[in-house]
Amino acid sequence: MTRSVWLSDASVRRKGDQPPQDGRVTWEIRTSDGPDPAGGRTIRTVAFPERRLPPGGGPKEYRAARKQGTRAFTLWADPHRTQVFAHVVTKSAAKGGPATHEVLGAAGEPLALIVREPAMKGGRIRTRWTVQQAGAQPVVGLKGRPFWWAVWWLISPIQLVIMVGSIVAASGDVARMPRRTKWRAGDRVVLDWHSGVGDSFELDVETDGWDERVTASLLALLDSHDSWLGNAWDTVDR
**217 in Cβ contact with 86 (< 8 Å):** yes
Q: What is the pTM of this model?
A: 0.83
- Reported as a pLDDT band with limits 50, 70 and 90, residue 162 is very low
Is residue 159 a part of any domain in this protein? no
Is residue 166 a part of any domain in this protein? no
Is residue 56 a part of any domain in this protein? yes
Is residue 167 a part of any domain in this protein? no
Is residue 187 a part of any domain in this protein? yes
Task: Give how many domains the chain has, as a whole number.
Answer: 1
Task: State the pLDDT at residue 160.
Answer: 56
Nearest Cα residue to 114 out of 208, 213, 29: 213
Is residue 163 a part of any domain in this protein? no
- The residue segments making up the domain with residue 137 are 3-144+179-235
Span 11-68, pLDDT tens digits: 765 445 555 667 889 999 999 976 665 666 789 999 999 999 999 999 999 999 999 9
Is residue 155 a part of any domain in this protein? no
Distance CA 165, CA 172 (A): 7
Is residue 162 a part of any domain in this protein? no
Window from 40-54, 108-122, 155-169, 189-203 with minimum mean pLDDT? 155-169
